[in-house]
Amino acid sequence: MLHHDTEEVLIGLGSNLEGPRQQVLNAIEAIKAVEGIHFITHSSLYESSPQGPQDQENFCNAVILVSTNIPANTLLLKLQGIENQFGRIKTRHWGERVIDLDILFYGQDEIQSATPELIIPHPHALSRDFVIIPTLEIAPQWQLPDNSYLKDHQAACLNHQLVKI
């Protein structure tokens, strides 16, 4: 049974190493297997050009919608555990990665923790087409903590030549 304090959460996935498409699909399965997470749906997969150093492969991105009563900081640790299990190694800022899992939105909550790993909504979420477009596909009416709607931010996001794959 889900508890009454269940939140809908949007999680962003990205990979550009070792078969990115399969890495993203495997990560979705890994997240589905976490106790306390109820999987709702996932977006299409998208290919995007890198936002950091350009001497790297394109990324495969997706967003999933789940509901959970796991607190955001605990959820972050679980996602980092999955990243580690997939062999994620931070090489450079905005660099290559086997898998990247980000909590984009945690219900209507605004969370500013002391660590940059847990700032919700995700600090770059509203400027990234590979976040906004897949999210709108699965949660078109998503409302932000400031009561604006995610769809209102689409025009302002940077373009990474997003291609649905």
DSSP SS3 for 30 = helix
Tell me the one-letter amino acid at 90.
K
- Which of 97, 109, 146, 152 is catalytic? The answer is 97
Task: Please state whether 16 falls in left (phi above 0), alpha (psi between -120 and 50) or beta.
Answer: alpha
- Which of 5, 21, 55, 88 is catalytic? The answer is 88
Cα angle 20-121-26, degrees, rounded to a multiple of 5: 25
- Which of 21, 92, 102, 129 is catalytic? The answer is 102
d(CA 20, CA 24): 6
Identify whether 152 is a catalytic site residue. no
Sign, CA dihedral 14-42-115-121, equals positive
Backbone torsions φ then ψ of 81, nearest 5 degrees: -65, -40
- Which of 100, 128, 129, 152 is catalytic? The answer is 100
Identify whether 97 is a catalytic site residue. yes
Backbone torsions φ then ψ of 51, nearest 5 degrees: -95, -15
Identify whether 102 is a catalytic site residue. yes
Identify whether 5 is a catalytic site residue. no
Please identify every residue annotated as catalytic: 88, 97, 100, 102
